[in-house]
Structure 1
Amino acid sequence: MLRFPGHGRPHPDDIVIAPLDLPGHVDEALAVQAVAFGLGPDEVAVRRQIVLRHMTFPGARAFGATAKGRLAGFVYGMPNDRTHWWSTVVEPYLRARGNDDWLDDSFVITELHVHPRYQKHGIGRALITTITDGADQPRSILSAIDAESPARHLYRSLGYQDLARQVRFPSADKPYAVMGAPLPLLRR
């Protein structure tokens, strides 16, 4: 369990980090992602199919943070595979920086989202360290919007470094950065 300060926030003992049956809770997870990431209904519908497909990949797993029985945040990921769509998009950017070897023997954080009501209390940190602590790979990779943000600050504090910047995904308006870190992730 995570502990929180008061100030109208959740009670200290209300947050539990545990394995998540993501296919069984996909709509609840995507509702968190929609609020946290600003997604509309059409994009949620597309992402629903992506999440369900990802969870069939070997080694895919998810963790959730629940508060009073409701999902407050989630993370999911899997061992990276160069044939997956994400890898095929980021590979040229990584290769240009001499970092395409990071696509091998890495655990990719596919999504990490915390409902805004529960942000800034260590839930994102707890989720990502919990999922990567169980990885068989020696390192982790992820992509994040290429802007200074609380998410990028969190990733850097865990040991992630930029491997490529200004990465353009076909359906995204903003450029992304690909980041990588050795495992286990840094602790405070």
Structure 2
Amino acid sequence: MLRFPGHGRSEPDDIVIGPLDLPARVDEALSVQALAFGLGPDEVAVRRQIVLRHMTFPGARAFGATVGGHLVGFVYGMPNDRTHWWSTVVEPYLRARGHGDWLDDSFVITELHVHPRHQQRGIGRALITTITEGAEQPRSILSAIDIESPARHLYRSLGYQDLARQVHFPSAARPYAVMGAPLPLPRG
């Protein structure tokens, strides 16, 4: 577990990063995601089933960030499998740009979200570096909305580079970028 101080106050404000039993705390995690990503109740209900299914996949794991026991951020991911829905959508975009091999031997960051009140404190960086530290794969891939954003800036600062842009997922209104980085990610 990682601990880092909150706002210079007492220990209850410390942010603790550690393994997360995501199926047991899925509703709490999805409430963080809904606030961070602007999801409505219908989208949350769909994502709940997706998260629970993903956590049954071999090698899937999750980490959370808590303050006083309350979840303020989470990340989960798994070794990539070309048969998973996400891979089947992004594969043609990656192949067209000569990056199809990134779908092999990669650890996928499936979701990473931090409650808006706790952003810009290094929580997202701590979560993604912690989850990838234990990956057996030599690289990591993820998708992010294809706009300049704090999330894209974070990923670039960790060594992620654009592998494909303007990737259209059937259920998403906005296009995404697929990014990849060699592991381990830099700390600090």
Contact conserved, 1:29 with 1:71, CA < 8 A, in 2? Answer: yes
Contact conserved, 1:102 with 1:141, CA < 8 A, in 2? Answer: yes
Query: CA offset at residue 2 of structure 1?
Result: 1.7
**2:102 and 2:47 mapped to 1: Cα distance?**
25
Q: CA RMSD in A?
A: 1.4
Q: Deviations over 1:133-156 (max 9, x none)?
A: 000000000000000000000000
Q: Which amino acid letter does the alignment assign opposite residue 107 of structure 2?
A: F
Distance change >3 Å, CA 125–CA 170, structure 1 → 2: same
Contact conserved, 1:3 with 1:12, CA < 8 A, in 2? Answer: no
**Does 2:6 correspond to 1:4?**
yes
Q: How many residues align?
A: 186
**Does 2:142 correspond to 1:142?**
yes
Following superposition of structure 1 onto structure 2, how do residues 1-188 of structure 1 map, counting pairs within 5 Å? 1-5=3-7, 13-188=13-188
**2:48 and 2:140 mapped to 1: Cα distance?**
24
Contact conserved, 2:141 with 2:180, CA < 8 A, in 1? Answer: yes
**2:77 and 2:103 mapped to 1: Cα distance?**
14
Counterpart of 2:169 in 1: which secondary structure?
Answer: coil
Counterpart of 2:166 in 1: which secondary structure?
Answer: strand
* Structure 1, unaligned runs of 5 or more: none
Q: Which amino acid letter does the alignment assign opposite residue 4 of structure 1?
A: G
Contact conserved, 1:78 with 1:109, CA < 8 A, in 2? Answer: yes
**1:157 and 1:30 mapped to 2: Cα distance?**
26
Q: Deviations over 1:77-121 (max 9, x none)?
A: 000000000000000000000001000000000000000010000
Q: Which amino acid letter does the alignment assign opposite residue 179 of structure 1?
A: M
Contact conserved, 2:19 with 2:63, CA < 8 A, in 1? Answer: yes
**1:153 and 1:103 mapped to 2: Cα distance?**
22
**2:148 and 2:187 mapped to 1: Cα distance?**
21
**2:166 and 2:136 mapped to 1: Cα distance?**
29
Counterpart of 1:24 in 2: which secondary structure?
Answer: coil
* Structure 2, unaligned runs of 5 or more: none
Query: CA offset at residue 13 of structure 1?
Result: 4.7
Per the normalisation by structure 2, the TM-score is 0.96
Contact conserved, 2:141 with 2:178, CA < 8 A, in 1? Answer: yes
Q: Percent identity?
A: 84
